[in-house]
Structure 1
């Protein structure tokens, strides 16, 4: 959700209070948690948190809202309206900047200090969860955003013997899938999904350092480089490999196409792996996985939970318990095994995680491979503008790469 959306939310706060009822006092252990984890794999993962919290003496009150943007809007309405949940999910990055700026979130630094979070999390994750040295969010996982997932049996039938490691090999594989009568690319035609794919292609073409310079330093010279334009042209080629039903498709519906053999490849974050696991497909075997070509690093996205103030700047007893539960080492392993992500803690034993997770862990433990997602470095408003530009470009086959580059450069050049 962008700042354009957020600014409109204050005006409908009364509606949120009406919809959810007046504020009610919570028992010391009760914690209502708002999130958007509603797919099969996601629901199984959130149950891990709920069960662990209950085992620790808490009472988990589940408040699921389908769709990330809808869930964030509902949570912000509740928080602004004075009837906040105990905790609410956001993506790692700058989505909750407005709430921090309005002094509506509890400072979780005391829990962070007790748990020594800064020593067990990658620096980019710590920075994304902190503002002015204070923790205002609790990171719970690291999602690799530049994965390619494929059905190994579908690949075999199409005569594809290995995962493509170059862009030329990727397009050759897509051609083979198309010739075999399979939809080559399972595509979710939503702005955030198309942006995720574009960012993966961009990283593969320009490399880690230039990827960071574009978003962190707003380097328009790099946007106007030949490497950037090549990433745009290759991204545009994907139009030839998606089906007519792609516009508006949810990510998990696209994942289901790969699971059932109707499509060959999906470029998606590793939350998709949770649905493969839920379908009894073994990651790294039945469900193949490889990073998008370029070998430029691991795009680190993820999820955090914020804890709205409830009469104090510091967390309440159930909020502190919930934060500690989410980052408990055993909970981290169990949750991420189901979710498809990898633990945000780097000090836990991941040796029994699946093959795809092992590759992700290996990447993240190498600082040279850690690539912060674009949303760590640009505002929600800038993110929204780029998403609009990318999805408009992809949906218009006659759009020129040069015009798109110029639009992208304008947005990056004025980014905050």
Structure 2
């Protein structure tokens, strides 16, 4: 029988000890990560510019190892309804688009969403995201949505060609300037205000008047605080009067028109102005029009007008499936990478949600928006950030009725006071 010498025995024992530990170390080194399954994403990005922006995120997600399954539903309300029905019906998508408002608060309170706290912590969201947005996606200390961008709803857009035809040489700098420009456009036979007669679009025009005619203090008193004294004040009556005055500058084809069709009127020079969110820039870009050359953009008509922000976000329906959770976390990381942020927002017309993205290659409107965002005192949420869906719906119903009928301003004012009363 062979007996090894001590050196050989020691070598064998050492080799045996290594062999005992080898399976563990090899397993640690070769362990396969939890696979990312097909991720179905419900969203409402269906216009030309929106589709291009959605495709960019989808491509970035695939490059990161995910499998994107696109479920586009035309119309924000319709897309959210589909997503909510799917979630409640126990057939949820991997992620669904919502806005950075209270739209998904009920889902959170009913325990129907996963949080992405570990992603938020590892990516340092608190350092790179604006406070108004953090206050929406962070609920009771947990992060339930990943914001994609910042949209400002109440930009004043104008056609350079239409302004030239109407003899408007200077960009409006005050509310009075704006009305003067609208009058000149009307006199020149140009549609003064390109508008889509839909309730949500009329709410945007109202917010623009409240922010620019009323100012930040009145805006917050009415929308955030729902202060009855402020709502019943002469200052707020002046806002409502200005809002109603805007209706006279629309054309007969306005009712029911989609926002992008209204933007097309500016692109063609058939209309002079439009009050709409910065997503319209995507339509300008698709038409090969350049900011500052073919169209102008005005963030506000007073030096310190509030910059009314919101944006798009993805929420993550509740699941314990490891691969689905992994897919959700991957999406949360991908949409906030600086390169995705920059290129997506160029296409979407919005500005990056991250404050550390280099936007020097973006258009002059985006750069103006980023500059304003540096002043935190001008960062104010839209009405849906402060109001519940029911309150916002009631306000919207009153505004669209006031816009489309001969309702006296006093009745509209009283109705709003009642709708926003605690």
- TM-score norm. by structure 2 comes to 0.89
Deviation at 1:315, TM superposition (A): 6.8
What is the aligned partner in structure 2 of residue 311 from structure 1?
Answer: 320
Task: Report the Cα distance in structure 1 between the residues aligned to 2:101 and 2:54, rounded to whole angstroms.
Answer: 21
Helix, strand or coil at the partner of 2:102: coil
The structure having more radius of gyration, on CA atoms, is: 2
Please list, as runs of the form range in 1=range in 2, the aligned pairs for 1:249-260 lying within 5 A after superposition: 249-260=257-268
What is the aligned partner in structure 1 of residue 366 from structure 2?
Answer: 357
Task: Report the Cα distance in structure 2 between the residues aligned to 1:55 and 1:269, rounded to whole angstroms.
Answer: 30
What is the aligned partner in structure 1 of residue 93 from structure 2?
Answer: 85
Task: Report the Cα distance in structure 2 between the residues aligned to 1:314 and 1:220, rounded to whole angstroms.
Answer: 50
The number of equivalent residue pairs is 388
Moved over 4 A (4+): 312-315
Task: Report the Cα distance in structure 2 between the residues aligned to 1:97 and 1:353, rounded to whole angstroms.
Answer: 33
Q: Does the alignment pair 1:393 with 2:409?
A: no
Helix, strand or coil at the partner of 1:266: strand
Against the structure 1 CA distance between its residues 242 and 229, is the aligned structure 2 distance closer, same or farther, given a 3 Å change threshold?
same
Please list, as runs of the form range in 1=range in 2, the aligned pairs for 1:267-286 lying within 5 A after superposition: 267-286=275-294
What is the aligned partner in structure 2 of residue 287 from structure 1?
Answer: 295
Q: Does the alignment pair 1:38 with 2:46?
A: yes
Q: Does the alignment pair 1:265 with 2:273?
A: yes
Residue in structure 2 matching 1:160, options 168, 190, 197: 168
Residue in structure 2 matching 1:323, options 332, 357, 360: 332
Task: Report the Cα distance in structure 1 between the residues aligned to 2:202 and 2:346, rounded to whole angstroms.
Answer: 26
Equivalent pair of 1:107/1:315 in contact (CA under 8 Å)? no
Helix, strand or coil at the partner of 1:265: strand
- TM-score norm. by structure 1 comes to 0.91
What is the aligned partner in structure 2 of residue 63 from structure 1?
Answer: 71
Task: Report the Cα distance in structure 2 between the residues aligned to 1:28 and 1:349, rounded to whole angstroms.
Answer: 31
What is the aligned partner in structure 2 of residue 139 from structure 1?
Answer: 147
Task: Report the Cα distance in structure 1 between the residues aligned to 2:120 and 2:291, rounded to whole angstroms.
Answer: 33
Deviation at 1:326, TM superposition (A): 0.3
Deviation at 1:206, TM superposition (A): 2.1
Against the structure 1 CA distance between its residues 378 and 315, is the aligned structure 2 distance closer, same or farther, given a 3 Å change threshold?
farther
Helix, strand or coil at the partner of 1:385: helix
Computed over aligned residues only, the root mean square deviation of the Cα atoms, in angstroms, reads 1.5
Residue in structure 1 matching 2:107, options 99, 115, 130: 99
Equivalent pair of 1:309/1:315 in contact (CA under 8 Å)? no
Which range moved further: 129-138 or 387-396? 129-138
Equivalent pair of 1:107/1:314 in contact (CA under 8 Å)? no
Equivalent pair of 2:291/2:364 in contact (CA under 8 Å)? yes
Deviation at 1:209, TM superposition (A): 2.8
Helix, strand or coil at the partner of 2:149: coil
Equivalent pair of 2:146/2:314 in contact (CA under 8 Å)? yes
